[in-house]
Structure 1
Amino acid sequence: MSHPQRSVLIINPNTTQAMTEGLRPLAERLGFPTHYEYFTAPHGVSSINNEDDAVISAQACLPNITDLMQYHDALLVCCYSQHPLVSLLREEIRKQHLDRPCVTGIFEASVATCLQYLNVGEKFGIVSTGQQWEAILGEAVAELLGSDNGKRFAGTETTGLNANELHAVAKSELDLRMKDATKRLLRKGAKAICLGCAGMAGLDEVVRSACVEALGEEGGMQIKIIDGVISGVVFLEGALRSAM
């Protein structure tokens, strides 16, 4: 007996279509027998650079996605933050007494993935964009892990570039900034590193190169590099399969 194909809506809550296009290969190269559709915010902000931007983007997206929920089994919010759209969508699902879709954000998914990879006491860190994210993500991790998060979290190190600037600067400049942030996390003892922005798709190789430069071939290859979009897709796939 065949089952209907699962459908996941991958949500870019900012208005930059190029960022949405960058999400497609991350999901589709995993090869799951799942149908993916992509949503870009119809209005709001072109880059989510702080918590105020996140609120604006959530308000811009919520009505449209509420209308689309009935057509999908899962929703993935692709902003690397404790984005309010995740909880708003969950509340909407509860309000409508629905048993689906399943919802997560790439921040939550990547932190969970890190904890699954690491031994107790080992730390993960986040490479993010503008400096403002150091405090924002630090508070978000503390809310997820509790008061003892310092035992597991090496912190957030940033490039100084906002999300919409990541691919506007020269590649050599971007690589240098990504490597510097990565090496700062390694000096803090990070054994896993999260790419802290959906716009960092494809930059895992730069982070890996920094790990090898800092720790040598053997040590550098042992560092886990976590892409939040991939983590989110994998989590939702597992959640959907377990509910079959």
Structure 2
Amino acid sequence: MASSTQKPIHILLINPNSSSSMTDGIMKALESLNLPLHITITPFTAPSPAPSSINNGDDISHSASVVLSHLTPAFFPSNSNSQSSDSNAYNAILIACFSIHPLVPSLSSSHPSIATTGIFEASILACLSLLSKDGKWGIVTTGPWWEDHLSAGVADFLGTTPNTNPASTATATSAPGKFAGVHTTGLNASDFHASTPSEVRRRLRKAAFSLLDSGPVECVVMGCAGMTGLEGLIREVAVEKYGEEEGRAVYIVDGVKAGIGVLVQMVENKRLFRL
């Protein structure tokens, strides 16, 4: 079993918006993971006319259609089965948009041998594995549209509300007991790289304080790929709110990093449990 962990794992990281600066920021932040040599990540940025920032349901749908138009069978190595020895084959796909993104089920269906997830789904799984019995988790994200979208998505993912359409703005009828809600900065995803640092800091701190007020929050999810690398700001707020010891104990989940971890485990599980 030990030898299987050294088989190559090649991850395709898809940024479904057209902001190459966001992709660059994500890849730079991933350097801190110091991944073993057998794990490689290839980034893909959606080309124009994909939106430069995904801020609502129309942007989500548009970004999906643009990406799918480019990810034709020819895009993938001819032997893309996860069992392949082809070093160019993708074993996993990560959708780096914190939303209920249609690319996740679409690519899972069209490439069933490739482990596929989104940073939204991976973040939930990461939090659930970290919480104590009475601990709560919540999301800090961008604009107000995401409050209903992500709240409904969480409920749907955890099976706590029937027939919810997370792509709509309808509020979820219920929220999981450990879920402390979605708290917004009022910024767009692109603003985290384009706005002045002081404004990003002010708004992110305010949203984080709002979430931590609903305590005891043990896990804070950064609900936007553009937030990658900003863990320090939220840690600062946690220490101010809960004190040094408890504030340092709060888990701050970067969805992209969580996604890489989940995908590596998914690939290993496929190899371990498939005949």
For 1:11, what is the secondary structure of its paired residue?
strand
**Structure 1 residue 119 and structure 2 residue 122: aligned?**
no
* Equivalent residue runs for 1:140-219 within 5 Å: 140-147=153-160, 149-189=175-215, 190-219=217-246
* Equivalent residue runs for 1:222-237 within 5 Å: 222-237=249-264
Look up the equivalent residue of 1:192 and give its one-letter code: C
2:64 to 43, 58, 69: 58
1:137 to 143, 146, 150: 150
How many residue pairs get matched? Answer: 239
- 1:21 alignment counterpart: 24
Shift of 1:28: 3.7
- 1:97 alignment counterpart: none
Q: TM-score, normalised by structure 2?
A: 0.82
CA distance in 2, matches of 1:193, 1:61: 29
CA distance in 1, matches of 2:244, 2:32: 26
Deviations 1:104-163 (A, max 9, x none): 000000010000000234211100011111111101001012336330110011110101
Shift of 1:4: 5.3
For 1:45, what is the secondary structure of its paired residue?
coil
Look up the equivalent residue of 1:153 and give its one-letter code: F
Uncovered stretches (5+) of structure 2, i.e. residues with no partner: 81-88, 161-173
Q: TM-score, normalised by structure 1?
A: 0.92
- 2:116 alignment counterpart: 103
Shift of 1:41: 0.4
Look up the equivalent residue of 1:19 and give its one-letter code: M
For 1:151, what is the secondary structure of its paired residue?
coil
Uncovered stretches (5+) of structure 1, i.e. residues with no partner: 95-99
Q: Which moved more, 1:65-74 or 1:191-200?
A: 65-74
For 2:47, what is the secondary structure of its paired residue?
coil
Shift of 1:200: 0.3
Contact 1:204 1:225 in 2 (8 A): yes
For 1:149, what is the secondary structure of its paired residue?
coil
**Structure 1 residue 79 and structure 2 residue 97: aligned?**
yes
Query: Relative to total residues, which structure has the larger helix share, 1 or 2?
Result: 1
CA distance in 1, matches of 2:267, 2:158: 25
CA distance in 2, matches of 1:188, 1:158: 14
**Structure 1 residue 36 and structure 2 residue 49: aligned?**
no
Look up the equivalent residue of 1:102 and give its one-letter code: A
Look up the equivalent residue of 2:102 and give its one-letter code: P
CA RMSD of aligned residues (A): 1.7
Contact 2:183 2:211 in 1 (8 A): yes
CA distance in 1, matches of 2:69, 2:93: 14
CA distance in 2, matches of 1:46, 1:25: 19
Contact 1:8 1:34 in 2 (8 A): yes
